[in-house]
Structure formats: C-alpha cells, structure tokens
Structure 1
Amino acid sequence: MVSLDGYFEGANGDLSWHVVDDEFHQYAEEMLNAADVILLGRKTYQMMASYWPSEAAIATDPIIARKMNSLPKIVFSRSLDKVCWNNTGIVKDDIVTTIKKLKEQTGKDILILGSGSIVSAFTQQGLINEYAIIINPVILGAGKPQFTGLEDKKSWTW
C-alpha cells in the first residue's frame, strides 16, 4: 500500500492510514492463492509474525490467516538469528542468487509483502517482474518512500 505522495509507511512507522476493507480482503485472498512463497524483510516479518498466528487474526480473518500461516516464507535479514513463524526461513547473504534460484523453479507467484528495503534492493537488481501497488487516498507529507536508493531511472510498460 502506498499513499498518493509515494510513502508506504507514515512518520514513525504509522500504518493507520491503510485502507483495509472488503475489496482489499478479496484482493489479498486472490493474491495469496496465486503464490507459492512470501518474501519479507525483517521489520515486515516481525510485524506479521506477531499478528497472523494470533487468535485475534484467526478469528477476524480466518482465510487470510490460514494462508499467511501455511505458505512458505523467506525473511531477508542480516540481524535475525532465528525465526519462529511456521514455514519460515532466513536468508542473510546473497539475496540475488536466492531470488534467481526461486525464479527458475516452476510454480506459482513469488510474493513480496511490504518490505520497502527489499523491494528497492530487488528493483535495483532487476529481480521484480510485476508490481501490484495499492494506492490509498491519502497524502501523508512525510514517511518512508516506496523506493529508495535506486541508482538510475526504471521504466516499465503497462
């Protein structure tokens, strides 16, 4: 999710502006059904791992919780030593080789959720084939931009 002015996270990590409604839930289900693996950065992993296995998540949104908890997940982190969420592994180095190997496998989509630094790093390396960005009807004025650290212009076709 991104604000109209390009932020995926508001000031101080604020995500309260994300529009999570029935349309979003339907899209999330379709997206998760089309995926074989979820890629996450450390911050997104810690946030999601603290929520999706919880009784509240399972009661509030059982379909998405079931998919989030059962799909294989890879966390890209140099600082984490272990993960505790079901079906989750850690990659500390050589993310390019890891992604290239994943992309060579047959199967469904490889999905990145949140994880702005991972999206920026993969974009710089040309590793992302398709972007699905939900634009929320809000201007934040400050926060963390969707893309950072890119060395040159990137262009795609619609």
Structure 2
Amino acid sequence: MGALIFSLNLTLDGCVDHREGIADDETHAFFTRLMDEAGAMLWGRVTYEMMESYWPAVARDEQAPPAERDWAVKLEAKPKYVVSSTRRDFPWTNSHHIAGDLRDGVQRLKDATPAGVLLGSGRLATELDRLDLIDEYQMLVHPRIAGHGPTLHQGGLPGTRRLELVSAEPLRNGVVALHYRRAR
C-alpha cells in the first residue's frame, strides 16, 4: 500500500490561495520531484479544473519556461484521480473519477499505488484528514503573510493531528520545504 502525501503551497499565516506563492524554477522543481516519486495525483474537482485549464497547454508549448514545461509534460503522463460529486467527465489525459464512498475510493487508490499518491487539494485534504487517510505532509511555506483565505483546514478537524518532522529545508527563494509524517 502506498502513502497518501498531502502537498501544497501555503503562506506563513496558512493561506493556500495558489496566487500567493512564489512560482519559480525552484518551487516547480520541488513539486516535479514529488510528482516523479509518486504513482498518481489526487485532486478535488475545483483543483482539477484549475489545473486542466492551464497545464495541458503548457505541456504543448515549446516556448514555455523549461521548469514549467517539465512539470506540465510529466503531469500530462501521470495518472490523475479526481473526487467529485458534481462532475463525471474528465477528458484530460490519464484522468480518472473516484465516485462513491470517499474513504473506500481513496483507500483503494492507496492500495493500488505502491509508489504513493500525491494529494494537492486543500478542501479535499480536510475531508481525507477527518477520515485518517493522510500519511505524510510535504508543504512549501512561503515567506509571505497573505492576510486572507482560504486557509489550510479552514473547515476544522475533530482533533489535533500529531506529526513527526522528517525534514526541513530552506530554499534559496526564502521558501521552507517541510516534510512531516503522521505520528501513529
């Protein structure tokens, strides 16, 4: 069984608005490495639609910045799983729908993906954390205070999650890469 790894950009005050992060070669390389190591991607519908509206065109654009294009090309080939109760059709290459019971669907995906599943949706992460399905957290904390939301786990959790630090690595751009594992 593979791990479910939640990874996202967030500001020092917990804002997960994708427009607030530093999108440079270093952060793209970080997420490209995580994606390379994982066997599949997992998103909610909103994140999937945001990604679907941008990255396929970057993968085809030979003039795109190299770090962005590298990410986009690899993302195009990676299996992508989407949790949605409102959308059924996911035409982007290698996209699959997870329907029915959330716990069962995500557990089956973890069981079938020994290299692990990379989760990149904040609201979905809250639901999966409530179900005790997230095994690791790999966050990029950006040196910014956004002063607005959405924030990480804004909907709350039933209790505190204890984590064990695996690594902390400052990047040249001031971002800190944090890797935690659930304390069981």
Q: Is the shorter-chain TM-score for this pair beyond 0.5, marking a shared fold?
A: yes
Q: 89, 93, 96: which one pairs with 2:96?
A: 89
Rounded to whole Å, the distance in 1 between the matches of 2:124 and 2:73 is 24
4+ residue runs of structure 1 moved beyond 6 angstroms?
none
SS in 2 for 1:85: coil
2:26 corresponds to which residue? Answer: 23
Taking structure 1 as reference, are residues 124 and 58 closer, same or farther at Cα in structure 2, changes over 3 Å only? Answer: farther
- Given that 1:58 and 1:65 are in contact with CA atoms closer than 8 Å, whether structure 2 keeps it comes out as no
Q: Which residue of 1 aligns with 2:164?
A: 157
In the other structure, the counterpart of 1:5 is 13
Aligned to 1:54: 57
Out of 68, 74, 77, the position equivalent to 1:70 is 77
Please report how far the alpha carbon of residue 93 of structure 1 lies from its aligned counterpart in structure 2 after TM superposition.
2.1
Gaps of 5+ in 1: 10-14
Q: Gapped runs of 5+ residues in structure 2? A: 1-8, 166-184
Aligned equivalents of 2:125 and 2:107: distance in 1?
15
Give the corresponding residue for 1:140.
Answer: 146
User: Which has the larger strand fraction?
Assistant: 2
RMSD of aligned alpha carbons: 1.6
Equivalent residue letter for 1:20: A
TM-score normalised by the chain length of structure 2: 0.77
Residue 44 (structure 1) aligned with residue 50 (structure 2):
no
Q: Distance in 1 between matches of 2:100 and 2:27?
A: 33
By how many angstroms is 1:104 displaced? 2.1
Q: Higher RCO, 1 or 2 (CA under 8 Å, sep at least 6)?
A: 1
Q: Is the 8 A contact 2:56 2:72 kept in 1?
A: yes
Question: SS of the counterpart of 2:40?
Answer: strand
Task: Give the alignment's TM-score, normalised by structure 1.
Answer: 0.88
Deviation at 1:143, TM superposition (A): 0.9
What is the Cα deviation at residue 30 of structure 1? Answer: 0.9
Q: 1:71 to 1:4 in 2, by over 3 A?
A: same
Give the number of aligned pairs.
152
